[in-house]
Structure 1
Amino acid sequence: MRHIYRCPLRWADMDAYGHVNNVVFLRYLEEARIDFLFRPEKDFQQGSVVARHEIDYKRQLVHRHTPVDIELWVTEIRAASFTLTYEVKDGDQIYVRASTVIVPFDFEAQRPRRITAEEKEFLLEYTDGGGGEGDGDADADQEEAVAA
């Protein structure tokens, strides 16, 4: 299953060339991620941090008054991280493909934490076929990188 966020475009998102600035797409992804993770019934209340972004710009998005769709789904779940993948699009027209590695984080202890059983169950609802669970070995490196 995919989560769909209808992202409004703002006049300030446009750059001098008349299209949405590439940097603004990171904020759009953040808005979609917050809409996905911080819903009252499925809240990652203990917190999380972004460990990595990858973004591929496919075509220009010209400013307009109608929202753009951001489809978001889970492509990997590990013991202490998960990957969200996104498409910013209108129908079949894709403007951006991106992914974000997210590490659950305990802000009180100031360190990464493992994904809880409830969080994992929630994330599994949004895997899109081939997404999967890793063995967690690479998570130790991820935890060290985030903790540094």
Structure 2
Amino acid sequence: MPYRVRISDINYGGHVSNAAVLSFFQDGRIGYLQQLGPFSEMDLGGCGIILPEANVQYKAEMFLGEELQIGVRIEELRRSSFIMGYRIERQGEVTAEGTTALVAFDYQERKVRRLPGAFREAVAAFEKLPQE
């Protein structure tokens, strides 16, 4: 998905902040889920997701007004969780990459759930991933 760097993304160093990159990941994740089907972070078909871990590797600075491309894919499906991979590029140059571990979570019951079947099937078909 395309993204133009805004002033609120910039830190005291004059480039995109660490927090903004995690927001870029979330924007990409939301877009991915919407493209995949009738899914959102709060509803994968009976439960939401919670993020216990995020990893980012910064490759190049990003600046105000730059046009970025945010790529997202699900790299691995597990019983109650999945790993999403992200790549941010500027005119073909990788500026940041990372992953997030996301766990199926029932916000009403406040506990981990199994990933819903319809979500697993949609991801497996889209990404051509094996299901556990």
TM-score normalised over the length of structure 2: 0.84
Q: Do residues 26 (structure 1) and 27 (structure 2) align? A: no
Q: Which residue of 2 aligns with 1:35?
A: 31
Shift of 1:80: 0.5
Structure 2 matches for 1:68-107, cutoff 5 A? 68-107=68-107
Q: 1:22 & 1:88 partners in 2: Cα distance?
A: 13
Structure 2 matches for 1:118-137, cutoff 5 A? 118-127=118-127, 132-133=130-131
Shift of 1:36: 1.7
Q: 1:47 & 1:38 partners in 2: Cα distance?
A: 14
Contact 2:68 2:91 in 1 (8 A): no
Q: 1:63 & 1:126 partners in 2: Cα distance?
A: 33
What amino acid does structure 2 have at the position aligned with 1:35?
Answer: G
Contact 2:124 2:131 in 1 (8 A): no
The Cα offsets for residues 56-90 of structure 1, whole Å up to 9 and x where unpaired, read as: 001101111x5311100111100000000000112
Unpaired runs of at least 5, structure 2: none
Unpaired runs of at least 5, structure 1: 135-148
Contact 1:54 1:98 in 2 (8 A): yes
What amino acid does structure 1 have at the position aligned with 2:67?
Answer: P
Count, aligned residues? 127
Q: 1:48 & 1:133 partners in 2: Cα distance?
A: 18
Q: 2:113 & 2:67 partners in 1: Cα distance?
A: 35
Q: 1:29 & 1:40 partners in 2: Cα distance?
A: 16
* RMSD of aligned alpha carbons: 2.1
